[in-house]
Structure 1
Amino acid sequence: MVDSGNTYGDKVSKLITWGHWFSFFNIIAAMLIGTRYIAQSPWPETFLGQTYLVLNWIGHFGFLIFGFYILVLFPLTFITPSQRLMRILSVIIATAGMTLLLLDTYAYQNLHLHITPLVWDMLLNNDKSNLNTQWQYLFIVVPVIFLLQLSLSEWVWNKLRKLAHKHVGRPFAITFAIAFIGSHLIHTWADASAYGPVTAQRATFPLSYPMTARSFLEKHGFIDREALAKQIQNEGTGGATEAMRYPLEPIAFKTKQKDYNLQIIMIDSLRADTLNHTDTPNLTRFAQNNLNYNNHYSASNNPTSLFGLFYGLPGNYVDSFRNSHIESPILTELHARNYQFGLFSGDDFNSSLYKQIIFTNGEIAQSTEKMNDKKAISQWKDWFGQQTSDKPWFSYLELTSVSEYDDAAPISTSNVSQNLFETNYRKAVQKTDKQLKAVLSTLKQSPDWEKTIVIITSNHGMEFDETQTNSWGSSTNFSEYQLRVPMLIHWPNVEPELITTTSSHLDLAPTLMEEFLGTTTPANSYSSGINLFDQTEERNWLLAGDRKNIALITGTNTVVIDTFGNYRVYDENYRRLKDEKPKLSLLMQGISELKRFYHPKK
């Protein structure tokens, strides 16, 4: 008896073979579309980073398409009665998948995010640009994709016998497997070593969840979590960074400006509510006699706020500026005007941001002794006494005793523990306030007092679990306890005032650039903030964040968005609102602000 080839087993076998080849050519198509992600992302600067990108590109799309075939099309092969129906279903599914992939590349190009329900809403409901009009044109290509998939299906079916004799399936399968496994192994090592050129690519492709093993390696003694965290803090991500377009236009200045002196006093970890007659009587007296912005927010809940203070930009730009070696326009102009620099710190500028981004021209003197606030103030006094009226100066004094109030971590969240740590903290604040009295007295007694700008603020706040989320210290959430800080300004010939409108660290740069240095360039060309003297109206939102997250703070809630486009909404007491959805216009404005100073991809 001659086998007609029409048995159920023969049909299934032929459809399986066809499905493999149909998936293979769709993998190639997906990889070609995936090059758009590579084109819209910064190119890795190291060979290992480039190797990982290529392996991840091959392995990820190979796994994504073939995995979808195994989970969806392969089971359908056994239950679909007709090979024609099976092929039509496959073509429809492949068309939908490729269309979604194209839409995702468009979302990544414009928002640097992959499609989520939030991003989908943003694309559909964006009223401030023509994004929603443009992306709808992509649906014009859906019939074209369908016809191409239909043609591919028919061609593979007719050429199935010839393709089966090519004997290339195994080499390709091995190639995809090696690329997939290799990319995940490289990322596992990179994540454990904080190797930025690789870890910075974790969100390049959609549905990408590269393997990590930090907990496993830490448990078995292969890595030290504290040392790794310190390495990340000191060195940043070190990954590929996009080309900067900063400033957006050349910065120009008026021909005549007053040569004011500038004194910035940074008190590490000083909360806004410590500004009272009990904890800080000297600082409170200074606030009453000068400008007091009592609704002021830091740019971050960690040291990246220092970047926001000098550059007027959110923390997501930190690593790009670190690698681009772009100096703050404030310091650039002070150098150009030959200002005398005096930089002093109670911890000898322990934060890597100072030496790697902010003060990169060798202004920080190497200390030969272990520093503390008392020694820093003493050195500042010696330096200040040597300044003359004919040469303008800039001084930066950082006091760190408040942040070092207690090195031990709390062991519980009981009221006793909370009160103990907060009591120790406030004692450190009171001690620092007493030390500040001598600094302020020295400044006021100077003959140059009326031509000296004095700014007193903090890098971030300090929490003692007020949000009842087991959050202590800083860098754990974006509540007001970790973000609200004092902002006190003495400005020559400006009357004392209590300003209650919301303000931000991002506002200091445009304030100094316009009111102190006399720039004629609009603030939005070099900053995300606005002039502190122009804040006559309450703004709709403030921007804070770090390298991985942004926080949009409004009068009623805080929206935290991560690098994958996922968001969480909190009320004014930082309680999670699980069913609350943020305004899309608010999100669009915030996300757009995070991309303004990167070179647009053509």
Structure 2
Amino acid sequence: MVTSGNNYKDKVSQLISWGHWFSFFNIIAAMLLGTRYIVHSEWPETIMGQLYLGFSWIGHFGFLVFGFYILILFPASFLIPSQRLMRLFAVLVGTVGLTALLLDTHAYESLELHLSPLVWDLLLSGEKTDLNARWQYLFITVPVIFLMQLILSEWLWRKLRKLTRKHVGVPIAAVFGLCFLSSHLIYIWADANLYRPVTMQRSNFPLSYPMTAKTFMEKHGLLDRQEYSKRLDAQGVEESEQIRYPIEKITFNDQGTRQNVLLVVVDGLRSDMVNTETMPYLAAFAQQNQSFSNHFSASNENAGSLFGLFYGLPGGYMNSIRSTGNTPVLLNTLSKRGYEFGLFSGNGFGTPIYEEAIFNGRKLHKNSESADTRYSDKQAITDWKAWLDEQKVDKPWFSYIELATVENFEEGGNYIPRFKPSLGTTNLTAGHADTSQLLKNSYKNAAYHTDELLIDIFEKLVATDNLANTIVIVTANHGTEFNETGTNSWGANSNYSKYQLQVPLVISWPDTVPAVTERVTSHLDIVPTLMESLLNTTTPTTAYSSGINLFEPNPERRWVLAGSKKDIVVLQKNTVTVVDKYGNYRVYDQNYQLKDEGKPKLSTLMQVMHELKRFYPVN
């Protein structure tokens, strides 16, 4: 019995010692594969960033492989009595691990995503694409990896006694441990100080979750959370990739039609409000002009939607544009053509993107003459009318009017409510009060009032003989939801349903026949439409926008991009696919109900990822 017990202990001891060395050489193999992440990622320019890269490269892969050893091989050493069977099990584990790492490096190089449910689904989808074919070829290396693991296993077992006598295990473990600890300490400091050369490396390696300590530091007075938030927003600009915008020089046939342009954006107005009951004037105006009944905003929040409207680019490029201090190609071209600019907003241009990336340096009419009076839609229109009276007949102009009454419907306004009960006319504490109905009626009241404001704008265009020579575009930044999806979503910026993304688009273009366009259109399409049909550019649309000309006959379009800085949203017929920055995805139906079996197509995702990277310089 004593002999048997000693034999068991000796076998376990040998297997544990062998397992340590087996893990060490697999760490080296993982580090070598990990260089593919380093090559494909942005190289840190500072010594501190490079030092962190070295520490995290050694420490992370050391911790990753050794962690799997502790979780799988170490307990197996006690449970599997045969050393041959145990070593075969370890070889299989090592083969699976290195194969998964190899696939992950390829996913990172191709899609800039680590292995995730989305990537696995695409890999196993069976769809015939070049990427899928290349991934399948990677599985050819599995027998090679398995053979190498077998050779390593046998060699280590034979050399185990000699390796054990060298007493280098503790120093090696100390090096990996020190690198792991140092990388996390550096990241804690970098995260608190928003040091980009380090923080930009957060997701370079798979299963990488660098340690942060903002709550601890704030608790002990080492971090000011408000100041941190301000610097964090600024860093979003500083850490962005450099962008090529436009990709090539913009050229033109001639000076264009020199028609005036009036762009009216009604904040928060969803598409279904344009009807004879809620907005009868705009509904009639739509019937008499170009109406796009299936139009979607570029985002469900202000900054992304406005960015897409003026640049014709997805919101993912926003910080890169902000970092360059650039302005939209459309506005630059209008300036060069001698257009006068009249820019007005009923909420005082409250969205920072206006001054940061759209109207940089241009005069914004956003202040009331009286410090005690809030700048309103009515005041903005009054100022616009005065500005219009000053314009010369022989000089074209571009004017922008933002109306905020609809988005601020809960605050009420100086207008008589048409739809009741609504906020201000009903006691919310009453047992019979339907809060959802009260909110929606208040929203409809604001939309009805805005419709009357639009009458004032169009009557002024007629009175000054401008309408016949003015392109008038009426749309919205995003929609507003009243929990129609049953997901407890209210307002905007909470989901990507049609209630938050689908907005009206009505265009009055001189000398065009009234028509209703039912195909899917996007905010990204407005810039190329004006560039081609107003300014007569000869440069391909793809050089400056992700959209297409609204008047292009029967364009091939299987999907439309929307989203935000954190999500990619692909709008297709009857489906909405949302992919987050980690590669996790959700597929919804047209009513924004989650589809259990929904999967995006690999070919579609590859096209989307290409579009989101197309304006960045090729490494």
Q: Report the TM-score when normalising by structure 2.
A: 0.85
| Distance (whole Å) between structure 2 residues aligned to residue 489 and residue 204 of structure 1 | 45
Letter of the 1:388 counterpart:
K
Residues 490 and 195 of structure 1, relative CA distance in 2, 3 Å threshold? farther
The yes-or-no answer on 1:454 pairing with 2:472 is yes
How far 1:467 sits from its partner (Å)?
1.0
- How far apart, CA to CA, are the structure 1 residues paired with 2:506 and 2:223? 43
In 1, Cα distance between equivalents of 2:593 and 2:286 = 31
1:348 paired residue number: 348
Which has the larger displacement, 38-47 or 559-568?
A: 38-47
Query: What is the letter of the counterpart of residue 316 of structure 1?
Result: G
Say if 1:100 and 1:394 are closer, same or farther in 2 by CA, change over 3 A: same
2:508 corresponds to 1:490: yes
Residues 402-417 of structure 1: pairs in structure 2 closer than 5 A: 402-406=406-410, 416-417=434-435
1:548 to 547, 557, 566: 566
- Look up the equivalent residue of 2:503 and give its one-letter code: V
Instruction: Tell me how far 1:565 sits from its aligned partner.
Output: 2.0
Larger deviation, residues 366-375 vs 546-555 = 366-375
Matched-pair contact (CA < 8 Å) for 1:196–1:237: no
Task: Provide closer, same or farther for how the CA distance between residues 212 and 557 of structure 1 changes in structure 2, counting only shifts above 3 A.
Answer: farther
CA distance in structure 1 between the aligned counterparts of 2:486 and 2:219, rounded to whole angstroms: 29
* Alignment CA distance shift 1:563-1:293 (3 Å): same
- Structure 1's 324 and 373: CA in aligned 2 closer, same or farther, altered over 3 A? same
Match of 2:283 in 1: 284
Q: CA deviation at 1:297?
A: 0.8
Partner of 2:527: 509
Distance in 1, matches of 2:242 and 2:230, equals 27
Contact 2:267 2:478 (C-alpha < 8 Å) held by counterparts:
yes
Following superposition, the deviation at residue 30 of structure 1 comes to 1.5
**Is the 1:198–1:239 contact (alpha carbons within 8 Å) kept by the matching residues of 2?**
no
1:329 and 1:239 map into 2 onto residues whose CA distance is 22
- Using a 3 Å threshold, how does the CA distance of structure 1 residues 558 and 169 change in structure 2: closer, same or farther? same
Are residues 1:499 and 2:520 paired?
A: no
CA contact (8 A) 1:251 1:519 kept: yes
Alignment of 1:95-114 (within 5 A): 95-114=95-114
CA–CA distance in structure 1, aligned partners of residues 7 and 28 of structure 2: 32
Alignment of 1:178-577 (within 5 A): 178-181=178-181, 183=183, 201-210=201-210, 235=234, 237-238=236-237, 240-303=239-302, 304-364=304-364, 367=367, 371-406=375-410, 416-536=434-554, 539-577=557-595
Q: 1:275 to 1:214 in 2, by over 3 A?
A: farther
Answer yes or no: is 1:27 the counterpart of 2:45: no
Pairwise CA distance, 1:191: 7.0
* Amino acid of the structure 2 residue aligned with 1:106: H
Conserved 8 A contact 1:568-1:578: no
CA deviations 1:531-588 (Å, max 9, x no partner) are 1112536843322111111222223222212122222122221112223334444434
- Distance apart, 1:174 and its partner CA: 4.0
Show CA shifts across 1:201-248 (max 9, x none).
Answer: 54432233445678899999999999988886x647346333434444
**3-state DSSP of counterpart to 1:453:** strand
Distance 1:272 1:463, change over 3 A: same
TM-score of the pair, normalised by structure 1: 0.87
Cα distance, 1:194 vs. partner?
7.8
Q: How far apart are 1:66 and its partner, in Å?
A: 0.7
Q: Secondary structure at the match of 2:562?
A: strand
The 1:34/1:266 distance shift into structure 2, 3 A limit, reads same
Q: 1:70 to 1:484 in 2, by over 3 A?
A: same
Q: How far apart, CA to CA, are the structure 2 residues paired with 1:470 and 1:223?
A: 34
Matched, 1:71 2:75: no
Shift of 1:11: 2.9
Q: Is the 8 A contact 2:485 2:592 kept in 1?
A: yes
Deviation at 1:524, TM superposition (A): 2.6
Aligned residue in 2 for 1:90: 90
- Provide, for residues 276-300 of structure 1, a one-character-per-residue CA deviation record: whole Å limited to 9, x for no partner: 2332233223222221112111111
**C-alpha distance in 1, partners of 2:445/2:315?**
31
The amino acid of 1:394's aligned partner reads F
- Structure-2 change in CA distance of 1:195 and 1:484 (3 Å): farther
Once the two structures are superposed, residues 416-451 of structure 1 have per-residue CA deviations (whole angstroms, 9 ceiling, x without a partner) of 111122222222222222223222222232334322
Alpha-carbon offset, residue 478 of structure 1: 0.6
Deviations 1:96-133 (A, max 9, x none): 21122111111111112222343234345576742223
Distance 2:47 2:467 in 1: 55
Does the Cα contact within 8 Å between 1:342 and 1:396 map onto a contact in 2?
Answer: yes
Output the CA distance in 2 between the equivalents of 1:126 and 1:498: 40
Label 1:364 to 1:132 Cα distance change in 2 as closer, same or farther (>3 A): same
Which secondary structure state, in structure 2, belongs to the residue aligned with residue 573 of structure 1?
A: coil
Whole-angstrom distance in 2 between the partners of 1:465 and 1:554? 22
Q: Distance in 2 between matches of 1:588 and 1:414?
A: 52
**Deviations, residues 362-420 of structure 1 (Å, cap 9, x unaligned):** 45478585533233223322322222123222222212222122269999999711112
Q: Is the 8 A contact 1:316 1:547 kept in 2?
A: yes
- Assess, with a 3 A threshold, how the Cα gap between structure 1 residues 563 and 68 changes in structure 2: closer, same or farther: same
- Once the 2 structures are TM-superposed, how far is the Cα of residue 65 of structure 1 from its aligned partner? 0.7
Question: How many Å separate the matches in 2 of 1:70 and 1:415?
Answer: 60
Q: Is the 8 A contact 2:579 2:586 kept in 1?
A: yes
Pairs aligned (count): 598
Q: Distance in 1 between matches of 2:224 and 2:208?
A: 26
Does the CA-based 8 Å contact 1:195-1:238 persist in structure 2? no
Give the equivalent residue in structure 2 for 1:137. Answer: 137
Number of the residue aligned with 1:57: 57
Q: Deviations over 1:9-61 (max 9, x none)?
A: 23322322222222123223222322322332334577776665554433332
Rounded to whole Å, the distance in 1 between the matches of 2:359 and 2:47 is 30
Question: 1:596 and 2:614 equivalent?
Answer: yes
In the TM superposition, residue 486 of structure 1 has moved relative to its aligned partner by 0.8
Report if the CA contact (8 A) 2:347-2:366 is conserved: no
Tell me the distance in 2 between the aligned counterparts of 1:337 and 1:478: 38
Q: Structure 1 pair 487/230, CA: closer, same or farther in 2 (3 Å)? A: farther
Matched letter for residue 138 of structure 2: L
How far did residue 187 of structure 1 move? 5.9
Alignment partners' CA distance in 2, 1:192 and 1:279? 50
CA contact (8 A) 1:195 1:237 kept: no
* 2:136 partner amino acid: Q
Q: Residue 352 and residue 190 in structure 1: after superposition, are their counterparts in 2 closer, same or farther (change >3 A)?
A: farther
CA distance in 2, matches of 1:471, 1:185: 39
Deviates more, 1:117-126 or 1:573-582: 117-126
Residues 126 and 584, structure 1, Cα contact 8 Å, conserved in 2? no
Secondary structure, aligned partner of 2:449: helix
Identical positions, percent: 52
Deviates more, 1:199-208 or 1:23-32: 199-208
Looking at structure 1, the residues matched to 509 and 337 of structure 2 have their Cα atoms a distance apart, in angstroms, of 20
